[in-house]
Chains A and B, each alone.
Chain A
C-alpha cells in the first residue's frame, strides 16, 4: 500500500511562514490534497490538486508538488490557523485506495 509521511508537528510565530511537507513514493505523479482540521471540528479542504484553493480559503494557503515531496505553505500565519493538517492522495493502479498522511499539528507560538 501507499504511504504518505508528514512531520508530526510544526511551530511558527504569528506572521511567519509555515511549511508542512508530505513525502511519498513518486508523489510528484499524484494529485495531492490538503485538509485542515481544528479541534472538535470536521476537516476542511484547504488545497486540492497540488495547488488549487477552494473558494473561501485565504490566499495565504498555497501548495506545491515537486521533487520528493508535496508542500503546504501558510504565509502570514495567524492564531486561527492552529490546527492539524493532513495530506491525502488517491492511489490507483492495482490497489485503488485513499491514503492520508499521519497529520501535522501546526502550533502558532
Chain B
C-alpha cells in the first residue's frame, strides 16, 4: 500500500493547480484523508481534511476560500484544487491517510509528496 501524489509543477502567481493522490481501493475506501504542506526548509503545516464519507471537509485559514479538497471513491483518488496561488504557497504537498470517524487521525500513511513552485 502506498499513496502517490501527482500534479505539482512550476506555475505563475494567480493561477490554479490540481493535485491528486492515488492509492489502491482497499487503502482508500473508508478512510479520512489530509493534505499537508512543507515550505522549503520549514515545518509541516496542515491544510485540509476530508472525512471518510466525503461529507465533512475542514480547512486551515491559509486554504479557506482558495483550496478545495475532494475525493472520488470510484477511482480511489484524493484531490486538492488550488486557485489564486501565491509564492508563499510554494512547497512540497503531502497527502496522508487518516482514520474513519472523529477525530480523523492518526495519520496511518504518508505519500512521497509533490512539489509546487509559484513565481510572481
B46 closest partner in A (C-beta): A98
Which one, A9-17, A20-28, A65-73, A99-107, is touching chain B? Answer: A99-107
The interface on chain B, measured as residues whose beta carbon lies within 8 A of the other chain's beta carbons, has a size of 24
Q: What is B's interface to A at a CB cutoff of 8 Å?
A: 34, 36, 43-46, 49, 56, 58, 60-61, 94, 96, 102-108, 110-113
**Proximity bits, A46-59, B CB within 8 Å = 1, else 0:** 00110000100000
Set of chain A residues within 8 Å of B103, measured between Cβ atoms? 31, 90, 92
Set of chain A residues within 8 Å of B108, measured between Cβ atoms? 45, 54
Q: Provided the pairs A1-B61, A42-B94, A43-B94 are in contact, do residues A99 and B107 lie with their beta carbons within 8 angstroms?
A: no
Counting residue pairs across A and B whose Cβ atoms lie within 8 Å, the total is: 66
A30 closest partner in B (C-beta): B103
- For the residues of B in contact with A, the DSSP-based class is loop
Closest chain A CB from B1 CB (angstroms): 13
Q: Provided the pairs A99-B46, A102-B43, A103-B43 are in contact, do residues A88 and B107 lie with their beta carbons within 8 angstroms?
A: yes
Tell me the bound Cα distance from A49 to B106 in angstroms.
7
Tell me the bound Cα distance from A42 to B108 in angstroms.
13
Q: What is A's interface to B at a CB cutoff of 8 Å?
A: 1, 31, 33, 35, 37, 42-45, 48-49, 54, 84, 86, 88, 90, 92, 96-103
| Residue pair A42, B43 in contact (C-beta under 8 Å) | no
> Could you list 27 examples of A-B contacts with CB < 8 Å?
A31-B103, A31-B105, A31-B106, A33-B105, A33-B106, A33-B107, A35-B110, A42-B94, A42-B113, A43-B94, A43-B96, A45-B108, A48-B106, A86-B43, A88-B44, A88-B105, A90-B103, A90-B104, A92-B102, A96-B58, A97-B46, A98-B34, A98-B36, A98-B105, A100-B36, A100-B46, A101-B43
Residue with the greatest number of chain A CB neighbours at <10 A, chosen from B94, B96, B107, B108: B107
Tell me the bound Cα distance from A90 to B54 in angstroms.
18
Q: Provided the pairs A35-B107, A98-B49 are in contact, do residues A42 and B44 lie with their beta carbons within 8 angstroms?
A: no
